[in-house]
Structure 1
Amino acid sequence: MENSGYVGAPYNFVPFYKDVVSVEKEQMMTHDKIEHELLTGEIAYTATAKLPIFISDGKEKPDFVKNERGEYMIPGSSMRGLIRSNTQILGLSSFGEDIDDYRLMYRNVAAAQGKDDGYGAILGAEPANIGDGKSVSVLKNVKAGYIEKVGSEYVIYQTEVDKISDQFGEMNYYVLSERTIAEDLRKKDTSFSYFKEHPNCLEHVMKDGFKKIQDRGRIHYKGTTNQHYTEGYYNISYEVTNTRQITAVGNPGTYKHEGYLVCTGHMNEKKSKYIIPKMDQSKEHIQISKADVDAFQIDYNKKKNTLRNNKKYYNLPETGEIKPVFYIQLDHLYFGFTPRLRLFYDHTIKEGYKQTKKSFDYAKSLFGTIDKNENIGYKSKVAFTDAVLCGNVNKSEESSVILGEPKPTSYLDYLVQKGGKTTYNTQGFELRGVKQYWLHKTLESYSYSNAGKNDKVFTHMKPLKEGSRFTGSVRFQNLTKAELGLLLWSICLEDDCLMNIGMGKSLGYGVIGLEDVTLKIFDTEKAYDLNQTLDWQPMMTGDIKTYIDAYKSEINGKLRGKDIDSLSSIQSFFKMHDRNLIPDNHVIRYMSIDKKEYQSRKRPLDSIDEVIKKSERSANEKKIVEKPVIEKKTAAEKKELRSGSVYQAEIKGYQGKKVKFLIDGNYILTALENIKGIDDLNKKNMKEMLPAGKKVTVELKKIKVDNETIYKVSIQ
């Protein structure tokens, strides 16, 4: 039973097979040999779309990719990537070359780890007294400065003021509230006329002011969002009191102090502007390491497509450009363009990669590799042609979708969890495995209420309809029988298995079946026997199963008593590709931001088996309930509740430590201690875990206590 709302994703993870199966170096070096034992030939196949499919041509207004003759096709490089991934899993091979070795960045991990050792502790988040009995929250470890690219390196310059006062720690910048600006602009002689001239600096419309709102015992102020607000920094002058209160902002030269006004990214109800004193280049500057620059740039490149407005604001400066920056200098240097920085994790991604290191494996032998130790390259033994569309072009209607992109920063998904608190800061953390998208039975549809009028967040796809067929081939040279068997297994998979390719896999696009697979092998004896007539077609048809069996036999011998078909990684892979085990869309969708499912999530991603079971249980519940539950029934319509029976119930409300259920027209109150199936259920979280209106499947048990009927409820 879900114990903290919906948690799910359109992808999951096939666990790594940790003890990589190696091959000998001699097996890598067969390119220039002509031996009867080595196999050369071609595998032909047809890829049939089971749902609409879209392979982008990469243009600004993307269309389905075409070859130089104008034919729609699946590029050979796309098919190569798909089959290579299958080969790595089925070949019990290494994924080390596919995993980036850099530090991820994060924000607000404190919610999961506790403030003392989390995000807030690093920033130094504490209250500070500003006089008149008032206090503000400050980030005592965060400083402001100016970043510049000098040659190929980046440096941070300090400001004129190192820090303002001891209670503000290392802070050397000022925080200005938009409420202060709004109140001052009402005056006849305002000191903030700068903002009348630059209204795009403000996140809220000043003429509307801020409404005082009390919510759950907390007073806050809400204003009307300024749709024209954009991130940026502006050269200004200002006045400030000895208690750090900004009293005036104007153009340069208007007031005593010079600096920059910094307007960071928009967040709901955020009302803070930041003012940074001007730069002092006479002070010692801070050198940023290349590793940190590279990690920052990777992080920016991964998130830039999600940035709606001024993307350049969040990127590193270009040569000769100087821009305001915030930073923390503790055991590690953290930097960014907002005070609430994205911090570098303690460990790199690859530190969590636990497969054994082997120089050569089956996938490397087939697809090639570079041996960095010996500085030798081994070329690929396989080549993929483009798979060209057969028959007529049948296009679906254009689809405008928001494509979510899985990110390894989601540690509850990507890492093996221990209590839901394992992050890239955890010593000994472990990557969960190889990410694979679930197959879909039907296309997923979403409403995009948060997208607004921002067309940039949409991808406009022009897919081809289901039933579209593409023919392609794979040419291979000098393979062993086992290598050819692995390649064929990676293409054919098992009966009733499908794959997915292209854009929109998270929504169900691109589900394909590789069908009509044929194998032709070059007969060297026919081709080079000088004692017989020249044969212009020295190709013979090969039996696919024979070669797959040869591979399984060879690798089982290397597994020392294990059977490759019984390995958990292999079984997990085929479960995700079996058309008979495809989960319902509602258990493999992305978590909703609108419903705050993602923000309130507390649990790791379910395992592959758990997702399949959840989908099967949901299907069984639909069979049980032939009619919708009627919310209210008359006394005559009520049915007697039987102990030990399973019912569909609806949560109707709460009384103290009891939950009110509606079951077949009967309202029952059940104490929390009599509700089973939800871990750690208590009075504080019962409304979250059992929200009013939620429908659940329950098993009832009736017991008599002091002549009173008590119901025990087991939620399934």
Structure 2
Amino acid sequence: MNRPIQHRDSRANPSAQNAPHSKREFSKPNMNAIPRPAAALRGIQAPYNFVPLADWVYFPPWSASASHDLPFSDGISGTLEFTLHTESPLLVAHEQEVGEKRFIIAPDGRPMIPGSSLRGMIRNVLEIATFGKMHLIDDRHLGIRDLSGGMPAYAKAMTEKVGRAYRARAETGWLRFEQGVWKVYPCRHSRIEHDDLTALLGPDAGREFKDFVLGKLDDSQRSAQAKYRKWEELGGRPDIRFEPGPLRDHPHSRGNLLRYSKAAQIGHGRRKGRLVLTGQPSPRKHMEFLFYQTEQHPIEPSKDVMRGFLKIHEDSKDWEYWKQRHWQSGDAIPVFFIYEGGRIASLGLAQMFKLPYKLSIHDALRNSSEDHCEQGRLDFVETLFGCTQAEAQGRRGLKSRVSFGAAFSDDARFGDSVTVILNSPKPSYYPNYIRQATAANGMQLDPEAQGYTTLMDEFAELRGWKRYPSKPFHPPRCLQPSKVTSTLHPLKTGATFKGKLRFHNLKPEELGGLVWALTWNGDRNLVHQLGTGKPLGFGQVRLELDRVKLQANDPGLPTEPAGRVLQQCGLMFCATMEQACRDQEPGGWRNSHQITTLLAMADSSIGEGRHLNPMVLDHQTRRNDFVEAKKRENFYVLEDYEP
């Protein structure tokens, strides 16, 4: 939730961290200074939003005594048979398929929803509804590369003003692993134009290289490794003769000047340089690098610097490419580094490389509450669904007391296939994923903030539980197949699936919470989200209970009529949560921001008319809403999803 943040400086400027509040100079975003055309970006929109993350976790008092073997005196076992109704086209696809997404089919030919998919869907609802831990997330260390103006600390770290021009602070060198440690051999560098590279290849090969680099720019073309392989395939040599030009100012975009050395006399100069290619983020990039004059005395980066570098690049294709060449052929790895205070402060694989954030995902989670990473106590969902990893962590393990079986359909019909792009949201996009102090309109930063809060800030907190709000379904536009598209083969709306879940030794409150999550407490207007294509409106489903069989541990406790027993269990669940929230949430459990937002996201009538489409990123037209949103005249944030 974007509520006001007290006693916090939302900038990562070290000099400002300890400054008295009264002496800080705040830079207010000028919201109206720059006129915009009618079609200009008016705010951040996304197909997802967040249920606010609570700063406390509910640990049920019975969690320590929950067991498969020792019955609760008021425990109940039994089965719940249900029907799943599809309210929009549904696709629960084979995970291993790439490009073609087809529904899972059982051996008897019927469409099937695995029990694990149903379990995950219900578990997430219950984690939010019971103020549970947000612990099923990877403790990733992200990096940041941002020149949009939304994070001035990055520009300050990577560039410096020299007269009227800007100069990149990164120096260049060769990274080697020698005698058990990583070492960097510094070198000098000049920039080389793509046109000069294409001239070296000759007319036909040069045209092919340039078309590849500046073409449609799908993921296969953007990486440095793809450019290297294309260069080698077309006969390009790694070493190029040239003359390094003097450091001088060169025109750049938006009237800026950049100071660098530009290579001249390409192919016949006195110097010999090694060509270094880096990633191609957009068609505007028109230069690469020539490394030359390597020093013989290396610099040894600290273990912390190398640890940050390796964590940021662990999934990088370019790092994998260079790592293989280093181990197999002994090739040194070209790197860029910032040298400060007599040491390497950071390094990367491009001149404007990613800086490692100070905080990991779990660090930001702990800033909301240490309870989210608590390993010694089980929350409501862990107590109910089990926590089998606990034994590996040296604490008591607990098996799940709830088991979902697969659900099958006898009336499903396949609808029209559609080819779309399934983009994955990037958790590094801090205007959405990190809690911000907002202005009164809820769409922009608080004018008193110096910039966005990011994982560079020691107090940064995660925004909350990401979910896709339900909305009326409209068929998406079908695209031409390409390397970045997926063809979906969903079921038509109106299919029904029959399923069953079994439960063992549940307390009434637990059974009530399970039924509350399954049926949204009986509200037929609310839906769950399931399967592939949720950002496009696919996978909106509703559950209804059919048959219920209950057996109490105590023979004296009533189990009939089953509907009335479930109703009583539901009331006990709600009363338990209201009691738990009494001292934590001013409005109580049902009126808390968490519950009202969760329920609003399940209501398609609330989603109707909301801006739930992704923002535009189009390299061909050079439109980038993600960058535009972070400009100082905008400072947009994702607005809270409230009813």
TM-score, reference length from structure 1: 0.67
Let me know the Cα RMSD of the aligned residues.
3.6
Equivalence for 2:486: 459
Which of 429, 443, 464 matches 2:474?
443
Secondary structure of the equivalent of 1:571?
helix
Cα gap change, 1:126/1:425 in structure 2, threshold over 3 Å: closer, same or farther?
same
Cα gap change, 1:521/1:8 in structure 2, threshold over 3 Å: closer, same or farther?
same
Report the CA distance between 1:478 and its aligned residue.
Answer: 1.2
Cα gap change, 1:241/1:142 in structure 2, threshold over 3 Å: closer, same or farther?
closer
Equivalence for 1:360: 378
Report the CA distance between 1:475 and its aligned residue.
Answer: 1.4
Alignment partners' CA distance in 2, 1:125 and 1:460: 47
Equivalence for 1:487: 514
Equivalence for 2:614: 590
Report the CA distance between 1:472 and its aligned residue.
Answer: 1.4
The answer as to 2:595 corresponding to 1:576 is no
Which of 559, 572, 576 matches 1:554?
576
Secondary structure of the equivalent of 2:139?
coil
Check conservation: 1:522, 1:540, Cα contact below 8 A: no
Report the CA distance between 1:434 and its aligned residue.
Answer: 0.6
Cα gap change, 1:324/1:509 in structure 2, threshold over 3 Å: closer, same or farther?
same
Check conservation: 1:157, 1:281, Cα contact below 8 A: no
Secondary structure of the equivalent of 1:48?
strand
Which of 233, 238, 260 matches 1:235?
238
Secondary structure of the equivalent of 2:101?
coil
Equivalence for 1:199: 206
Which of 388, 391, 396 matches 1:376?
396
Report the CA distance between 1:141 and its aligned residue.
Answer: 2.7
Equivalence for 1:264: 279
Report the CA distance between 1:581 and its aligned residue.
Answer: 2.0
Report the CA distance between 1:17 and its aligned residue.
Answer: 2.8
Q: Deviation per CA, 1:217-276, whole angstroms, max 9, x where unpaired?
A: xxxxxx99999895227621323246354334559xx96525234253252222102112
Residue identity in the other structure for 1:355: S
5+ long unaligned stretches in structure 1: 129-134, 162-171, 186-192, 207-222, 301-310, 529-537, 613-716
Residue identity in the other structure for 1:259: R
Q: Deviation per CA, 1:268-304, whole angstroms, max 9, x where unpaired?
A: 222102112376776355466574255324664xxxx
Alignment partners' CA distance in 1, 2:552 and 2:170: 72
Alignment partners' CA distance in 2, 1:565 and 1:599: 38
Alignment partners' CA distance in 2, 1:264 and 1:564: 49
The answer as to 2:628 corresponding to 1:600 is yes
Give runs of aligned pairs for residues 357-436 of structure 1, distance below 5 A.
357=371, 359-369=377-387, 370-371=389-390, 374-391=394-411, 393-419=412-438, 420=445, 421-436=452-467
Equivalence for 2:25: none
Equivalence for 1:303: none
Q: Which has the higher contact order (CA 8 A, sep 6+)?
A: 2
Report the CA distance between 1:157 and its aligned residue.
Answer: 3.6
Alignment partners' CA distance in 2, 1:205 and 1:455: 15
Equivalence for 1:190: none
Residue identity in the other structure for 2:159: G
Select the structure that is richer in strand: 1
The answer as to 2:191 corresponding to 1:175 is yes
Equivalence for 2:78: 41
Residue identity in the other structure for 1:232: Y
Report the CA distance between 1:553 and its aligned residue.
Answer: 2.1
Alignment partners' CA distance in 2, 1:6 and 1:247: 45
Equivalence for 1:659: none
Alignment partners' CA distance in 1, 2:490 and 2:293: 53
Equivalence for 1:642: none
Q: Deviation per CA, 1:623-651, whole angstroms, max 9, x where unpaired?
A: xxxxxxxxxxxxxxxxxxxxxxxxxxxxx
The percent of aligned pairs where both chains have the same amino acid is 20
Report the CA distance between 1:608 and its aligned residue.
Answer: 1.1
Alignment partners' CA distance in 2, 1:26 and 1:74: 30
Cα gap change, 1:17/1:138 in structure 2, threshold over 3 Å: closer, same or farther?
closer
Which of 323, 330, 337 matches 1:317?
323
Secondary structure of the equivalent of 1:232?
helix
Alignment partners' CA distance in 2, 1:580 and 1:197: 57
Cα gap change, 1:142/1:472 in structure 2, threshold over 3 Å: closer, same or farther?
farther
Check conservation: 2:357, 2:455, Cα contact below 8 A: yes
TM-score, reference length from structure 2: 0.74
Check conservation: 2:169, 2:338, Cα contact below 8 A: no
5+ long unaligned stretches in structure 2: 1-30, 33-40, 230-236, 247-260, 439-444, 446-451
Check conservation: 2:183, 2:298, Cα contact below 8 A: no
Residue identity in the other structure for 2:116: S
Alignment partners' CA distance in 2, 1:281 and 1:83: 60
Which of 332, 345, 358 matches 1:346?
358
Give runs of aligned pairs for residues 619-630 of structure 1, distance below 5 A.
none
User: Is 573-582 or 197-206 further displaced after alignment?
Assistant: 197-206
Check conservation: 2:50, 2:641, Cα contact below 8 A: yes
Alignment partners' CA distance in 2, 1:568 and 1:407: 25
Report the CA distance between 1:92 and its aligned residue.
Answer: 1.6
Cα gap change, 1:427/1:313 in structure 2, threshold over 3 Å: closer, same or farther?
closer
Cα gap change, 1:16/1:25 in structure 2, threshold over 3 Å: closer, same or farther?
same
Check conservation: 1:56, 1:62, Cα contact below 8 A: yes
Cα gap change, 1:224/1:506 in structure 2, threshold over 3 Å: closer, same or farther?
closer
Residue identity in the other structure for 1:475: R
Report the CA distance between 1:378 and its aligned residue.
Answer: 1.8
Check conservation: 1:260, 1:277, Cα contact below 8 A: no
Cα gap change, 1:498/1:335 in structure 2, threshold over 3 Å: closer, same or farther?
same
Report the CA distance between 1:337 and its aligned residue.
Answer: 2.8
Alignment partners' CA distance in 2, 1:279 and 1:548: 72
Report the CA distance between 1:66 and its aligned residue.
Answer: 2.3
Alignment partners' CA distance in 1, 2:241 and 2:454: 42
The alignment of Structure 1 onto Structure 2 pairs a total of residues equal to 533
Report the CA distance between 1:500 and its aligned residue.
Answer: 0.9
Alignment partners' CA distance in 2, 1:355 and 1:422: 18
Cα gap change, 1:109/1:471 in structure 2, threshold over 3 Å: closer, same or farther?
farther
User: Is 283-292 or 356-365 further displaced after alignment?
Assistant: 283-292
Equivalence for 1:512: 541
Check conservation: 1:520, 1:540, Cα contact below 8 A: no
Cα gap change, 1:427/1:384 in structure 2, threshold over 3 Å: closer, same or farther?
same
Secondary structure of the equivalent of 2:42?
coil
Residue identity in the other structure for 2:42: G
Equivalence for 1:51: 88
Cα gap change, 1:147/1:377 in structure 2, threshold over 3 Å: closer, same or farther?
farther
Q: Deviation per CA, 1:356-401, whole angstroms, max 9, x where unpaired?
A: 515221111011224476433222111111111222x411111111
User: Is 21-30 or 70-79 further displaced after alignment?
Assistant: 21-30
Which of 106, 114, 119 matches 1:75?
114
Alignment partners' CA distance in 2, 1:563 and 1:352: 26
Secondary structure of the equivalent of 1:457?
coil
Alignment partners' CA distance in 1, 2:173 and 2:593: 51
Cα gap change, 1:575/1:517 in structure 2, threshold over 3 Å: closer, same or farther?
farther
Check conservation: 1:346, 1:425, Cα contact below 8 A: yes
Residue identity in the other structure for 1:107: R
Alignment partners' CA distance in 2, 1:546 and 1:564: 18
Check conservation: 1:105, 1:299, Cα contact below 8 A: no
Equivalence for 2:264: 247
Alignment partners' CA distance in 2, 1:411 and 1:482: 38
Residue identity in the other structure for 2:189: Y
Alignment partners' CA distance in 2, 1:558 and 1:241: 70
Report the CA distance between 1:578 and its aligned residue.
Answer: 2.0
Equivalence for 2:591: 566
Secondary structure of the equivalent of 2:431?
helix
Report the CA distance between 1:556 and its aligned residue.
Answer: 2.7
Secondary structure of the equivalent of 1:111?
coil
Cα gap change, 1:286/1:596 in structure 2, threshold over 3 Å: closer, same or farther?
closer
Alignment partners' CA distance in 1, 2:602 and 2:360: 31
Secondary structure of the equivalent of 1:390?
coil
Alignment partners' CA distance in 2, 1:268 and 1:437: 32
Alignment partners' CA distance in 2, 1:40 and 1:294: 49
